[in-house]
């Protein structure tokens, strides 16, 4: 998946399509993001202000260019992106029933890009069930 820089990207429709194509009606879907400067998140999918508030909170919590960080090989957002990923997660498990993700009414699956520049992110999906 291509990102356009820092932000939350709703991947729920793509994941749901993959589940349908798997022909597994009931089971457990595992998602794994193969990166250390982005993360996965189940979050509110109706009001975009929730995503904006999360960004503002993390900007306060882990500021770009903080002199505390020595690792800045790729710029002032490099180490903060790693810290943000460490505070969140790169793996999710979502139950599947009758070929559908068992997400709540207002839940979506997001890739949270922590870097300022666009990146190509690789997501591994694995389904166990029948």
pLDDT beneath 50, residues of the chain: none
Number of folded domains that form the chain: 1
pLDDT of residue 95: 98
Token couple for 2:
């291509």
Distance CA 123, CA 117 (A): 18
Q: What is the pLDDT of residue 55?
A: 97
- CB of 116 closer than 8 Å to CB of 74: no
- Residue 45 phi/psi, 5° resolution? -115, 5
pLDDT (0 to 100) of residue 57? 98
Q: Is residue 79 part of a domain?
A: yes
Please tell me the predicted confidence (pLDDT) of residue 78. 97
Instruction: Assign residue 15 the CATH number of its domain.
Output: 2.60.120.460
* Position 2 in a domain: no
Q: What is the pLDDT of residue 101?
A: 98
- The answer to whether residue 1 is domain-embedded is no
The answer as to whether 83 is a domain residue is yes
Q: Does 43 reside within a domain?
A: yes
Range of the domain at 101: 7-129
* Residue 126 near residue 30 (C-beta atoms within 8 A): yes
Can you give the pTM of this predicted structure?
A: 0.95
């Amino acid at each position: 998946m291509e990102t356009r820089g820092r932000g939350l990207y709703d991947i729920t429709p793509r994941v749901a399509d993959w589940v349908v194509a798997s022909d597994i009606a009931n089971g457990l879907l595992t998602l794994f993001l193969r990166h250390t400067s982005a993360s996965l998140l189940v979050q509110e999918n109706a009001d975009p202000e929730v995503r904006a508030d999360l960004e503002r909170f993390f900007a306060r919590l882990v500021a770009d260019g903080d002199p505390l960080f020595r690792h800045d090989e790729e710029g002032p957002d490099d180490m903060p992106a790693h810290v943000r990923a460490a505070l969140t997660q790169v793996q999710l498990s979502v139950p599947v029933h009758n070929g559908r993700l068992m997400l709540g009414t207002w839940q979506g699956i997001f890739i949270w890009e922590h870097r300022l520049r666009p990146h190509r992110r690789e997501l591994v999906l694995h389904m166990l069930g029948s």
